[in-house]
Amino acid sequence: MLKKERALFILKDLEKRYPETPVPLDHSDPYTLLIAVLLSAQCTDERVNKITPALFKKANTPKKMIKLDVSEIREIIKPCGLSPKKSKAIFELSHILIDKYKGEVPKSCELLEELPGVGHKTASVVMSQAFGEPAFPVDTHIHRLAQRWKLSDGSSVVRTERDLKKLFPIESWNKLHLQIIFYGREYCQARKCYGVTCPICTHLFPKRKNAIETKKA
């Protein structure tokens, strides 16, 4: 099966499995999504969703956030991990949003990436899920599955994103990146499938016998 044929099968299979793709992180607007995605670094979405209600009850806008002390933010978000770094980033980016963007989240991946604590993946998630702009955020699930499905060699997250964007139509990106994440969590986990057990892996590579060692994101 050629790479393009594998991509087409994956696209159709995931659409059947996950016709609806709710955003995993609870939020009410672009700002709260931005903060939630920032908090999700090296943390599960489930844990983030348990923490953000308390944070957003106190501060769900940049103006409210800068009224809190960094230490207060840090105490609330501590269960998410990396709280010293994340709390400082949340406080600083909130100031920048007020000073440069009138309190609004910019609708530009490049401008988002200039904000403290916001990398390319976080910016891509916000562009995709908050603004509906075509983007293909690559998290650990997508990076791993792209290798197991031989859609990319895993040499870097940048390479994986570029390869997937070439393979799949632009109109599918926003939904597909969530579908792959959902599939990875349900069927093709890091220590479960190894590329030889889940339905898609076994369909694409029925003769594969050995586990696939994937490169980390």
Catalytic residues: 121, 139
* Tokens describing residue 163: 């390869």
Half-sphere exposure of 164 (CA within 13 A, CB side): 29
> What residue type is 190 in one-letter code?
A
* DSSP secondary structure letter of residue 170: G
Whole-number Å distance between alpha carbons of 193 and 57: 40
| Cα–Cα–Cα angle for 164, 172, 135, rounded to 5 degrees | 65
| CA separation for the pair 57, 37 (Å, rounded) | 17
Round to whole Å and give the CA distance between 135 and 125: 7
